[in-house]
Structures are given as structure tokens and as C-alpha cells.
Amino acid sequence: MNRLGSTDVEVSPLSFGGAAIGNLYTEVGDQQSYEAVDMAWQQGIRYFDTAPHYGLGLSERRLGEALRQYPRDEYTISTKVGRRLEPVPDATGDDLANGFAVPADHRRVWDFSADGVRRSLEASLERLGLDRVDVVYLHDPDDHAEQAFAEGYPALEKLRSEGVVGAIGAGMNQAEMLTRFAMDTDVDVVLCAGRYTLLDQSALDDLLPVADECHTSVVVGGAFNSGLLADPRPDATYNYSRAPQELLDRALRMKSLAERHGITLRAAALAFCAAHPAVASVLVGARSADEVRDCAEQFATEVPMAFWGELLESGLLSSGKES
């Protein structure tokens, strides 16, 4: 287990991301989602992440239900604030425009105000069926930086000082603003999705060195860049869109190299994310017990040093933003 910043909150090196069990892109049954969480527990995963955004609260409800059988002090759970959910009376249609195969019976309201943060957390606790969460992140404040820094962050800081939460942070798909959080605030952790992978090392430019210096922990999400590094094929996705041919070709070459060294590309992708000293946990999203088991097995795989050497020599691993 690894501590987040200077807090007493601990996370497992491999963690469970709850977007998929919130019906990300396609429906997942209740039982299948519970089995995925159960398998995570069996594999030693003790850190679980969710958010109101994931399936309009469905992920939180399912995760809370699945974890209810386990001792509360034996796992760490995080959720996020910044998008409040408001009911939509007589709603029709689905939420696929936002990526989730659920009825559009609520709408998301951006709100990083102090009141919004507290209201969002209270609603999350109700959906989770818990009296506390361990970590709260400001969720995707990209277009709301002023309110997030001036109101949202101080609200989280107050919740932490009151002992309501153990650790606070921000979670985003970019590295630049997370670097600002690490430098200019007293966050314990940042969740960086997709910006520190075999195909995109832009978090190395500033975020990871700054986080290391500031003793801010990093949780890395999106290790597979939304699919391309898990299974590179012509219809694979990269950052939630169809993968560009150049990146697909690079991923296929990486896969071939990995197989020559007796490992999978998935194992290499996870090992790469976990290796940096600032990284406390690698967050993987899974929608089934089989996917969880596979991720755990790949994470436990030892990647030969010769693979890394050849990867660098071949020019397949480049520093900075993807090219």
C-alpha cells in the first residue's frame, strides 16, 4: 500500500476505476458489475474510484453496493465533485451523448462553488450508502479554473481540516492544470488520465517532476489510452476517439516487440505507468471479472529490462507529447 502525500490515506498500487460499471458506452448488468468489484478484491485491489458523472450516479450506487460486504476500514474509496446531478422530470432518451448507456433522468450541472462541493459530496455519500469517503477530487475543472481554485479547492481543504475526508485532489485528462494544483495548493494527490502512457508522456514535462518535488502523489489513469494500448487494431480508440493510423502503427510495433520479449503490451503499458516514483497507484477501468483478473495478472508481470532498452533504441518510446 502507498500513502497519498503526507496523509494517512493508503492506496493499493493497482486500483479499480468505476466508469465502466457506470455503463460507459455499453450496458453492464448489476451482477456483472458486482462480480468485477469482487474480483478486484480477490486480486488484492483495495482502492476504488468513482464519480457522479459515471452513469449519472449508477457507478456510485453499484460500487457502494458491491463493497458493502467488506470491512470499511480495509479499503479506500474516492469520488469527485464539480458536476452536480439534478433530476429531469419526465425524461426520455439516454445519456450516450455523454458516453453512458443509461436513461437521461438527470442532468449534470457544473458547480465548483463551496456549496456545490458539499452538496455533491452529500449526494455521493447517499448513493454510495457510506458515511465517508477517503479521497475527493475536483473533477475536470478545465473550463472552470477560476471557480475551482477560488472556491472548490478551499471547500475541499476545509472538509479535510474538519476530518470529513482524508485526502483531497484534482482529476483531469490534462497535465498542465494539475501541475498548477501541485505547485499552488496543498492537494495530496492528482489523478492524471492518459497523459503518462507509452504513447503520451506529456506529464513528464512538468507534472511528475513537480509532484515528486512537492510530495504530491499521482494516480495514473488511462494507461491504455482508452483502448489502443490494450488491443491495438484498426477500430481501436485513442483518447475516446478512433486511433490515428500513425499511433495505431506505433502501438502495433510495441505489441510485436513485447511479444518477442514474452510479455503483452498490456503488461508493458501498466508497468510503465507504475514505475515513476511519484505514482502511487495505476487506475484501471474494467467491466467484468475477467477484465479485472487480466489487469491484475498483467500488472504482476515482470517486464524484462531488455524490452525497455529495445523500446528506447527503436525510437518507439518518446518523451513529451505524442507525435
Residues with a catalytic annotation lie at 54
Cell 518510446 belongs to 317
List, in sequence order, the alpha helices (H) in the chain: 30-42, 58-67, 114-128, 145-147, 153-161, 176-184, 207-214, 245-260, 265-275, 289-299, 305-313
Half-sphere exposure in the Cβ direction for 228 (13 Å, CA): 26
Q: How far is CA 80 from CA 111, 164, 193, in A?
A: 12, 14, 14
Task: Give burial (CB, 10 Å; 0-12/13-18/19+) of 230.
Answer: buried
Angstrom distance (rounded) from CA 217 to CA 140: 18
Beta strand 217-221 pairing with 100-103: unpaired
Sign, CA torsion 146/142/166/113: positive
DSSP state of 178: H
- Measured N-to-C along each axis, helices 176-184 and 207-214 cross at an angle, to the nearest 10 degrees, of 20
For 211-244, give the secondary structure using H, E and C.
HHHHCCEEEEECCCHHHCCCCCCCCCEECCEECC
CA triplet 89, 124, 105: central angle to 5 degrees?
20
In contact, 280 and 12? CB cutoff 8 Å: no
In contact, 196 and 276? CB cutoff 8 Å: yes
* 3-class DSSP state of 39: helix
Angstrom distance (rounded) from CA 75 to CA 69: 11
